[in-house]
Amino acid sequence: MRLTTLLSFSLILAPSLAAVVDLTAANRRPPVTGLPDWSQVGYEKGINPIPDDSLVARTVTAAQLASSYGVIPNDGQDDTAGLQRAIAENPGSANAFTLIQLPAGTINLSFTIFISSNYLILRGAGNDPQTGTVLSFIPDANTKYDTLTPNGASWDLDGMDFNWNYTEGTRQVTGSASSGWLWPGRSIFRVGSKSIASKFTTPASLAPPNRVDYFYGTVNYHWRNDTKVKGYMSDQTKEIAGLAGTRKIYIDAQNSSWTAPPGTDIWVAAPVCSADYDAWQVQDPTFYQNQYMFQDWFTATGSGTDAQGTYVLLDHDLAFDVYSNSLGGGSVQMQDETYFAKVMPIDEPVHHVGIENLYMTQPMPMLSVDDATANYGNMAPESAMHGIVFRYARDSWVRNIRTFMTGSHPIATEVARYIQIQDNYFDGSWNKGSGGNGYLRGSRVWDSLYYNNTLRNLRHFTFQWSAMRNVATMQNMTNDMNLHGGYEGYNLLELNYVSVPYSHRAGSCLSNCGGEGGSQEGGTWAPVYWSTGNKASKWSGASGPQNVFYRNYMIKAFTPGSSQTDYTPYFSRDGSLSSKIWQFGWDRLTSLGTRYQHLSNNGGSTLLADWQGHEQDSFMSDPNVGVNGQFTDSHTSLFLRDVTNATGITTFSAIQGRVFCAGSVIPKTVGYYLGTSASRSCEPWSVSSIDTSTYSHVIYAYATLATDGTVSLTTAQQDQVKSIVALKSRSVNVKIFVGVGGWGLGADANGLATIATSNAGRTKFGTTAAALLTSVGADGIDLEWTPCVGTKCISASQFSTIASALKSGIGAKLLSLSTPRDFWFLSGVNTITSNLASISEFISLITHQKPTSTAQDANDPSIIQSTLTKAISAGFPAAKLLFGVPFYSRPLGSSNLQSSCVASSTLGQGTFPYYSVAGFLNGTGPDSGLGYSDLTTVTTTQLYSMVLSDGSTMFSDNPLSVAERTRISDDLCMGGISVFSIDQDTQAGSLIKAIQSIQAQ
């Protein structure tokens, strides 16, 4: 075995640096409108990270394992019983975990170990088989499956049974248990209760050694109930006991044993109905079988009785209507039996269990690892044991383990919530064929996280059997991502690297073969598998609603001997599809969709019968339906805010997007106010009209800067600033600044250019600015850079020196800066950014269109992004950069058209304020006589484009375009918006309200 292990290890790569990404709630995106909420997946909903040793209160050392429990590495003896006893005898408690530290070397195991103790960490000495902990599992005779299906292909769930017949007092008790009670099967570890329900205590005592484990964990099985009423039924007086989208479910009031105080874990299971099979257009009548297809895990938040009956309140919405029994919706009875919906308290959920840093394998000396590679059959069905099973478990994890050649699934879930599987390497299985073997299997799992796992030589990665609200991200696999059926829904699969060879197919098989339908089939598995109702009802049912695929790198060889190509139409290496959100099993009647839609090639009248042969159909395009690809997102992850510390797929040009920053900083909304607007002829804007509740900063424009460095305001201007400062009485948090600038709007910049080379002038600038701010009661000063005044040009270092002198002079008062695009392309700008960042509260990026420009580049997203990129690469933090948004427009080229509201000799000459544009577009206002034609909206920016009466073109901002700019500022992780100017908005505040609508999201 050691030789086999070493050979395999040489092919194993270390887990990628994706593991350094913060997975906690602090780095998770808020729910995206229209998409499921994945913000609370994984261990403790992401509120806390997986525990480190600071939470360990007691350690069972390797030496204690040897001395007290007989667990001794490399001695060739069976260590199973000792390790089981160590686990059972050493539970932890809340925030006081027990750590069982396994020794380096090989530990021999022969039967399933139940981990039923809470707050317990089982940790190896490392996952390198040469130096770490190796768990070598060879199932004994009582653990191997002793009854196979008639064809010998797999374990026979029904045939491998146990019957009992005994006398209890005067009553004769008979019963039977099938090995299906073990589902999903025996394993090396089972994280779940080992307790036996009182109803089965005697049968368990009568069971032989190879049947007694049927009864382990029955304390959590719905058939454990001893009342004469069928156990844990929903309210049978109603057709529907709980409606999808609500958080109330009615239970059978006859069941007096039912209790669920707040905090109780609740399992809800609704039976499939014949109407469901009808809706999926299932053609084979033998597929109409009773089963609990619709399941979910809840936490009770309350209970009570109303006019409708006895109910339980749940912690999240029901994802399906809970029909009280299998006759709901006009259904007929199937298999001569009626199934009743279950609402069951989970009595002993195992929680806070971690398995870490070890290597697991199941040696099969008579079999060849080479024969198992790309062999999708069962080589040893009697030994198809799993690695780790979670059954009725929550808030647990598996981290940094390696598996090599497990009997079947390396990890399997079966009723589990808040599980976290991360940073693991799963390689190979002896059984990957008939009966469903060899998966990384996410079945009946909810709100869980699969992160940074590597999968090799497995059959599938699956979500199946009501698996909902899970996230699988940054995994690397050579198998498909398989939606395996049974109403799995609302899952996110993103940023996974999926490279699937042609040999990954059911037809690659040496023995005990089986396709997805349980028989040999052709074709080859594509990177995505979706289960149709007609085919998947053989083992479960159709795949469910709104399973989301996003930014997965997917390549596949579809023919023998061919190279791997892009998995079109859902992935392209040119990056053209990277922002698409693919919602499978979802309609596209709206951009986001609203309801379930089974895949179909003809609009939904005839449903897709089999995914095979249709893997590359464009189900997002008419006449096909079932995939919604109409919604896009610019960010790298729909789940995490920032994955920039990750390596691998997140850096690929075909995948990479932006960091999600919304909410990580409180966005500033800075507004300049032109003092001259109070006395202008068109729609004057008095100081009292400024709504300080909508702005974080108001900058009064402008003070005058003399060539000797003196900065001043006229008496009238000082009175205006004082009036603005007085508005702080109704908005105490707003900050009032005095601006020095306006160069691009016609102000004289000679003073700034002169003091650039005058130390005395710069000093005077600082001292006079301090005195001015004190006299008017303002909070700070804003300074705008200008490139050249005649032959005088201000370099980056000179501007930094001016800003430093100004900050030194004003002391505790605040400083902000305003820079056009050109500033960030100056020589040496990277040498002064750290200084500017340290002395300024923010810098406004002004990329407004220049006079006489003939290009529509004013605030084009590519221009602002390139400017931001330059600033960031120079070392300035994005969170201190504000997106400058003009509340005015300027005709392109040398147009002589002039708004009647802006005199040719004043600031803003040659521009059209937005209130003027809004007026003449409506045929009203001071410029209503201005002719225009060809009014259109630019798709990428939402700007209005119009041809004016002199033939020139003008692009104008409007509520839609400034909202788009605000979104972009969020996308680019900027610190907010800087508008020029407050007074150029409409009196109703059309533009600022549009900005607020986005910032409020």
Q: Evaluate whether 544 touches 496 at the Cβ level (below 8 Å).
A: no
Token readout for 413 is: 């879930």
H/E stretch holding 426 reads: strand 425-429
Say what the pLDDT of residue 239 is: 96
Q: Name the amino acid, one letter, at 463.
A: F
Residue ranges of domains in the chain: 240-345, 459-660, 668-1000
Say what the pLDDT of residue 78 is: 98
Beta bridge partners of 416: 393, 445
**What is residue 34's three-state secondary structure?**
coil
Longest CA–CA span in the chain (Å) reads 113
Q: Evaluate whether 978 touches 883 at the Cβ level (below 8 Å).
A: yes
**What is residue 254's three-state secondary structure?**
coil
Low pLDDT (below 70) residues in the chain: 1-19, 225-230, 256-257, 515-520, 848-861
CATH of domain 668-1000: 3.20.20.80
- Write the pLDDT tens digit of every residue in 72-89: 999 999 999 999 999 999
Q: Is 828 left (phi over 0), alpha (psi -120 to 50) or beta?
A: left
How far is 450 from 442, CA to CA, in rounded Å? 9
Say what the pLDDT of residue 934 is: 87
Q: Evaluate whether 809 touches 766 at the Cβ level (below 8 Å).
A: yes
Say what the pLDDT of residue 3 is: 31
Say what the pLDDT of residue 864 is: 77
How far is 496 from 477, CA to CA, in rounded Å? 8
Token readout for 29 is: 């995106």
Radius of gyration of the chain (CA): 34
Say what the pLDDT of residue 853 is: 65
Say what the pLDDT of residue 266 is: 96
Say what the pLDDT of residue 858 is: 53
- Write the pLDDT tens digit of every residue in 365-388: 999 999 999 999 999 999 999 999
Q: Write out 608-668 in H/E/C secondary structure.
A: CCCCCCCCCCCCCCCCCECEEEEEECCECCCCECCCCCCCHHHHCCCCCCECCCECCECCE
Say what the pLDDT of residue 230 is: 64
Say what the pLDDT of residue 512 is: 87
User: What burial class does residue 128 get, using C-beta atoms within 10 Å of its C-beta: 0-12 exposed, 13-18 middle, 19+ buried?
Assistant: middle
Question: Between the CA of residue 932 and those of 218, 921, 928, 940, what are the distances in Å?
Answer: 78, 8, 10, 22
